[in-house]
Structure 1
Amino acid sequence: MRVLVVGAGAIGGYFGGRLLQAGRDITFLVRPRRAAELASTGLVIKSPNGDVTLPNPPVVQADTLKEKFDVVLLSCKAFDLDDAIKSFAPAVGPNTSIIPLLNGMLHLNALDEKFAYERVLGGLCAIAATLNEAREVVQLQPMQSLTFGERDGKMTDRVRAITEIFAGGKFGSVASENILQEMWEKWVFLASLAASTSLMRSSVGNILAAPGGRDFLLGILDECSAIAKAGGYAPRAPFLERATGMLTTEGSQLTASMFRDIKAGAKVEADHVIGDLIVRGDAAKIPVPKLRTAYTHLKAYEKERG
């Protein structure tokens, strides 16, 4: 089974690298700069789960991509989705499965429109990783998982086949029969964390230590959960218990990658992660004052950034 990993940054580089390390048939679709880096130093992963250097990983660039692949693993940011779709479109054949690892749900509409519903699975990952100054993939914490599945909940032959391929990566891959529920729950937590830490420009622990901090964090979680419920995916009790625990741990240094992007002056997924929730909340007539404040803050940041 041939797998095309779109990008070799922190997410694509880590999961694709682990699969390549396991001997799977992996090709990275990259831009010229990244192709030159990989040719020079290889794909380097620094991780609590084991370091590895993979010399000369197979790469292809958009202007030379012609072959079809069995699986496309899509790990770009939402603001790069349109360009990514154009770049990997030639690799999609009648039997190709696309597994997007983007946050939120809005990307499914774009992928369905371009490639058709039946080619697009649901997917999500849990990992804290970044590219350092040496352009190495650095995993910040041992936590790692990649979950995927048919959006209608069926356990199909293609899901079983992909499961066998991904198992070799030893990164906690899971074939889910309830992938949309899991995607919604990740979105609820991510949006709560991103909205809070980005707006307050600080960690969960520091927000909790501030007057009204706990109420704000839990209020954001309540708003996001209400939107998910209105969409037919009410967060389950075990998830809410975990999410509440993570958002109320005193002294926690937890922040969202969106906040770290703001600190670095980088682009953020304001519309995809926060804005789309507000749109859905408005449609369901759910008041979301805290989300609105966070969204205004993010859009002001985007305006200032230019």
Structure 2
Amino acid sequence: MRIAVIGAGGVGGYFGARLAAAGHEVTFVARGRHLEAIRRDGLLVRSPLGELRTSRDSVVAGISELGPADLVLVAVKLWDTEAVAGQLSSSAAHRAPVLSLQNGVHKDTVLRGRLTDEQILGGVCFISAFIEEPGVVRHKGTLQKVVLGPYGSGAAETARAVLAAFRDAGVEAEASDDIERAIWEKFVFLVGLSATTATVRRPIGVVRAHERSRRLLYDVMAETVAVAQASGVRLDSGFAEDRLAFCDTLPADMTSSMHNDLGKGNRLELPWLSGGVADLADRLGVAAPRNRTVADILAPYVLGRPAGS
């Protein structure tokens, strides 16, 4: 397959390199020092599952440089989704199926604003990976899983082909007949982990060990479940308790991308996480005061470290 990977960070870089190693023709879209390093040495992935390195000519600086593709993987930060969708719609890859492995539940709605419904595959990934230095992606642990599925029957054959490509690349990949539910299931946990580790400014072990921060974790997830149910997604009422129990199984030092971004003074995905839950709750007439408070507390940091701090 000819695969375009938009965003060569932890998620896009890792899965793109795996697909390239399996013989697919993978082209990354990257920028800045990361782009320069890949052009010089290829993209290096350091993983407990084995080291990978892509070719030096596997990267371009913009979506406009992409040729026709059989699949587009979107793995940029959420605030770039609208721009990516617009650029894709006028590129040579504009007819390709698009699979977003981004966080959140808003991503595919944004993509549908510029691309056809039949192009969009629903997907969610589970991995801890990040850019260690320009040109290098570090995979932490061995978890590397993708769940995907079509939103309608028209894309079922495409979904099967993409699923097979991931499996052939050694990635744990599952098909879902209710991909919207699968995306929301991850979202519940992601919102809880991100909200609490960022506001407490400590890893999950600290959050879950204290009665009041543990309650915050549960409340944030329970509100997200209520918003999902009000949106028509079939989540069980006890799903927040299930995710809280799951949090007890995580390594104590585990944290979230938003916590890491906050510490580095980077822009935050807050408007699509707790902020997104609170906004959806307002529109649906559902109460989400804990998520709204998290969004308010972190609001000064959404665009990065405030001046003078």
Same fold at TM > 0.5: yes
Q: Please tell me whether the aligned partners of residues 4 and 66 of structure 2 are also in contact (alpha carbons under 8 angstroms).
A: no
Q: What CA deviation, in whole Å up to 9, does each residue of 1:205-237 have, x standing for no partner? A: 212333412222211121111111111114248
Distance 2:287 2:34 in 1: 44
Distance 2:62 2:249 in 1: 45
Residue 215 of structure 2 is matched in structure 1 by 215
Structure 1 pair 55–208 and aligned structure 2 pair: CA distance change class (3 A): same
Structure 1 pair 129–238 and aligned structure 2 pair: CA distance change class (3 A): farther
Distance 1:42 1:251 in 2: 32
**2:4 matches 1:4:** yes
Alignment partner of 2:273: what SS?
helix
Alignment partner of 1:277: what SS?
helix
Quote the RMSD (CA, aligned, Å). Answer: 2.3
Residue 166 of structure 1 is matched in structure 2 by 166
TM-score with structure 1 length normalisation?
A: 0.91
Structure 1 pair 137–57 and aligned structure 2 pair: CA distance change class (3 A): farther
Residue 68 of structure 1 is matched in structure 2 by 68
**2:102 matches 1:102:** yes
Distance 1:151 1:250 in 2: 31
Q: Please tell me whether the aligned partners of residues 4 and 73 of structure 2 are also in contact (alpha carbons under 8 angstroms).
A: yes
Residue 259 of structure 1 is matched in structure 2 by 259
Residue 226 of structure 1 is matched in structure 2 by 226
Structure 1 pair 280–153 and aligned structure 2 pair: CA distance change class (3 A): farther
Q: What CA deviation, in whole Å up to 9, does each residue of 1:38-82 have, x standing for no partner? A: 122221111111112234252223275252211100000111223
Structure 1 pair 37–251 and aligned structure 2 pair: CA distance change class (3 A): closer
5 Å-filtered alignment, 1:275-286, equals 275-286=275-286
Structure 1 pair 287–66 and aligned structure 2 pair: CA distance change class (3 A): closer
5 Å-filtered alignment, 1:175-254, equals 175-236=175-236, 240=240, 242-248=242-248, 252-254=252-254
Alignment partner of 2:133: what SS?
coil
Residue 85 of structure 2 is matched in structure 1 by 85
How far does residue 149 in structure 1 lie from its aligned partner after superposition? 1.2
For 1:114, the aligned partner's letter is R
Distance 1:270 1:22 in 2: 35
**2:152 matches 1:152:** yes
Q: Please tell me whether the aligned partners of residues 100 and 123 of structure 1 are also in contact (alpha carbons under 8 angstroms).
A: yes
Alignment partner of 2:67: what SS?
coil
Q: Please tell me whether the aligned partners of residues 6 and 88 of structure 1 are also in contact (alpha carbons under 8 angstroms).
A: no
TM-score with structure 2 length normalisation?
A: 0.90
Distance 2:4 2:286 in 1: 40
**2:54 matches 1:54:** yes
Distance 2:13 2:103 in 1: 17
**2:302 matches 1:305:** no
Q: What CA deviation, in whole Å up to 9, does each residue of 1:173-207 have, x standing for no partner? A: 22221110000111111011111111111122212
Q: Please tell me whether the aligned partners of residues 118 and 152 of structure 2 are also in contact (alpha carbons under 8 angstroms).
A: no
Deviates more, 1:29-38 or 1:267-276: 29-38
Q: Number of residues paired by the alignment?
A: 305
Q: What CA deviation, in whole Å up to 9, does each residue of 1:147-180 have, x standing for no partner? A: 2111136772211222222222211122221110
Q: Please tell me whether the aligned partners of residues 196 and 213 of structure 2 are also in contact (alpha carbons under 8 angstroms).
A: no
Structure 2 unaligned segments of length 5 or more: list them: none
Q: Please tell me whether the aligned partners of residues 150 and 156 of structure 2 are also in contact (alpha carbons under 8 angstroms).
A: yes
Percent identity among equivalent residues? 29
